[in-house]
Chain A
C-alpha cells in the first residue's frame, strides 16, 4: 500500500452544496496533488501544494480550493457543487518524483 489515505470513501451531495475531502499522506512527503478522475478518463490535475502553499493549478474554477497542513494532511474543498463534479477525487503525495496515490473519494452530485 502507498500509505496515503483518503476520507470519506464515498459521498453523495446535491447540487449547490459544499464538500470537503481529506487526504493524509506519508511523513516526509511535502508535496500533495489533487486530481479529478471522471469515469473512463484519466486523472485531471486540480492543484498541488508544497509546504502548505499552492504550487500549481490546473484548469479548475476557484470554487475548487485546498489546504495543506503541517502534519502532511490536506483538504480539497468544492463549493457550489455541480452535476459534472461527480467523479473520483484522488490525492497523491510525492517523494523523489514518484507519486503515491490514495484510494480516492467517490463523489456523486445529484
Chain B
C-alpha cells in the first residue's frame, strides 16, 4: 500500500537556525498537505500543494511539491521557539476521496 516517509525523524536546532523536513511517497500524489502538531495537541492544517513543482510561502515557512508529485519539503527560516512541534506531511491519493496518508513526522525542538 501507499507509504509516506519523512526525514529526519527528529531535529534539534538553535533558535535562529534554519530547518528542513522532507517527505517522500511511494506513489504519485494528487496533492500534499502539511500539518503542525504541538506536544499534547492535535494536527493543525498549514497548507495544501496541488501542482507539480509548486512552491508556496507563509512568512518564514516555504513549502515545495516535487515535479513528479512524489515528494515535498517544508523549510523554516530562522526558527523560533514557537516553531516547536511535530510536522507531518499528508499525501492525498487519486481515489477521489479525501483519504490522506500521513507521514511519519519530524519532531522539531528549538533551543533558545
- A→B interface (CB under 8 Å): 2, 31, 33, 35, 41-45, 48, 50, 55-56, 58-59, 90, 92, 94, 97-104
Contact = CB atoms under 8 A, between A and B. Distances in A.
Most chain-B Cβ atoms within 10 A of its Cβ — which of A35, A99, A103? A99
Contact of B98 (A41, A59, A97, A103): A97
Nearest to B89: A42
Majority-rule SS of A interface residues: strand
Interface of B: 1, 31, 33, 41-45, 48, 88, 90, 95, 97-105
Given A31-B98, A48-B99, A42 B45 contact: no
26 contacts: A33-B98, A35-B102, A41-B104, A43-B43, A43-B88, A44-B102, A45-B99, A45-B100, A45-B102, A48-B97, A48-B99, A50-B97, A55-B97, A55-B98, A56-B99, A59-B1, A90-B42, A90-B43, A94-B98, A97-B98, A98-B45, A99-B33, A99-B100, A101-B45, A103-B41, A104-B42
